[in-house]
């Protein structure tokens, strides 16, 4: 894997010292996938893998800085209290990088490493990095699943990310790429996008979404006052697939909650609805992978965005562990 991968770094994990593993920095296990570290386990394991890359953001005319997202999220996650059962493993599997702007190779490695994590029995939880993380993550999950399973995507985002990759992959093209690959392979493209902002997506993208049969909920309807209808939309979508991959773009939140992103806006959704939606997805027992994308520490304020991203990873791990 060479320069495209770095092993996990214990210095990224710190916090209060309890001596009784009461904090996640005391719970986490570091595994170097480049050395073939094995963590196959008879019980449950959750593996963090960083995608330290913002080349796709740059190609998509966004502001760079998300390359540091995985480090910022780990810093906040390590401080959080550990309520995981003793027999549940929390793994840090290191970071995928993007040297010399070779985004496509980074996505290939991310896919291969995601598959490796799944084959060892872990649920992948990926930390971005640009939203081009979704292309590699999806491919890796698909390759690691049992054949014949139908994999659906739920994306919490202001943007469809269905732009063409005709001039190269980027942070706005992952679901366009996935849709075309599904079509070429004669497989369904099951994609639900929650929080779409009309002003952030030109008519062409709505036309593309229609052509690919994308299900979506626009921001005015994706609100806590409409939580019953949102839950029904999610449940109906999940009922049509065998497994679910969730991706959360931090720029979908209002900048009041998530200022440190590549494309911020004061108009966006609120955390409580995303947490509620995650609970619905997790309770279905179909979640097989989750990532957070676009955390950009260069523009963060008091680490709000990193704390929110870490909080969602924390929420997912602890709720999955209780199933």
Give dist(CA 243, CA 289) in Å, integer.
9
131 is in an annotated binding site: yes
Contact 49, 94 (CB under 8 A): yes
87 is in an annotated binding site: no
Residues 15-32 as b/e (b if ≥16 CB within 10 A, e otherwise) read beeeeeeebbbbbbeebe
Tell me the three state secondary structure of residue 93: strand
Cβ neighbors of 56 (< 8 A, separation 6 or more) are: 103, 130, 131, 132, 169, 170, 171, 172, 173
9 is in an annotated binding site: no
**Strand residues in the chain grouped as ranges (E):** 5-6, 29-30, 45-52, 89-97, 122-128, 151-156, 190-196, 215-218, 243-249, 287-293
Which phi-psi region, left, alpha or beta, contains residue 294 (left: φ > 0; alpha: ψ -120 to 50)?
A: left
Contact 175, 151 (CB under 8 A): no
Query: Both tokens of residue 86?
Result: 């003793």
Cβ neighbors of 252 (< 8 A, separation 6 or more) are: 156, 157, 158, 159, 195, 268, 269
Read off φ and ψ for residue 253, nearest 5 degrees.
Answer: -75, 150
Give dist(CA 252, CA 243) in Å, integer.
23
157 is in an annotated binding site: yes
- Which residues carry a binding-site annotation for Mn(2+)? 131, 157, 159, 161, 249, 251
- Which residues carry a binding-site annotation? 131, 157, 159, 161, 249, 251
């Amino acid at each position: 894997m060479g320069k495209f991968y770095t092993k996990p770094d214990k210095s990224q994990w710190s916090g209060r010292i309890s001596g009784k593993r009461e904090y996640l920095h005391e719970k986490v296990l570091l595994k170097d996938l480049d050395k073939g570290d094995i963590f196959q386990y008879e019980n449950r394991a959750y593996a963090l893998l960083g995608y330290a890359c913002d080349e796709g953001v740059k190609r998509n005319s966004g502001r760079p800085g998300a390359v540091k997202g995985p480090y910022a999220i780990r810093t906040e996650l390590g401080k959080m209290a550990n309520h995981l059962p003793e027999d549940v493993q929390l793994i840090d599997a290191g970071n995928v990088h993007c040297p010399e702007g070779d985004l496509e190779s980074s996505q290939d490695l991310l896919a291969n490493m995601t598959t490796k994590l799944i084959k060892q029995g872990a649920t992948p939880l990926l930390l971005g990095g640009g939203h081009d993380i979704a292309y590699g993550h999806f491919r890796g999950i698909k390759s690691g699943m049992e054949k014949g399973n139908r994999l659906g995507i739920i994306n919490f985002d202001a943007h469809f990310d269905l732009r063409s990759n005709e001039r190269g992959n980027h942070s706005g093209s992952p679901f366009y790429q996935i849709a075309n690959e599904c079509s070429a392979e004669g497989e369904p493209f099951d994609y639900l996008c929650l929080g779409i902002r009309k002003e952030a997506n030109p008519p062409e993208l709505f036309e593309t979404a229609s052509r690919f049969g994308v299900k979506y909920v626009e921001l005015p309807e994706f609100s806590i006052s409409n939580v019953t209808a949102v839950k029904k939309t999610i449940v109906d979508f999940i009922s049509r697939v065998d497994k679910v991959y969730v991706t959360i773009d931090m720029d979908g939140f209002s900048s009041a909650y998530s200022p440190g992103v590549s494309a911020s806006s004061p108009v966006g959704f609120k955390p409580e609805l995303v947490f509620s939606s995650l609970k619905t997805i997790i309770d279905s027992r179909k979640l097989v992978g989750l990532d957070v994308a676009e955390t950009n520490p260069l523009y963060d304020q008091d680490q709000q965005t990193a704390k929110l991203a870490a909080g969602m990873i924390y929420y997912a791990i602890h709720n999955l562990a209780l199933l």
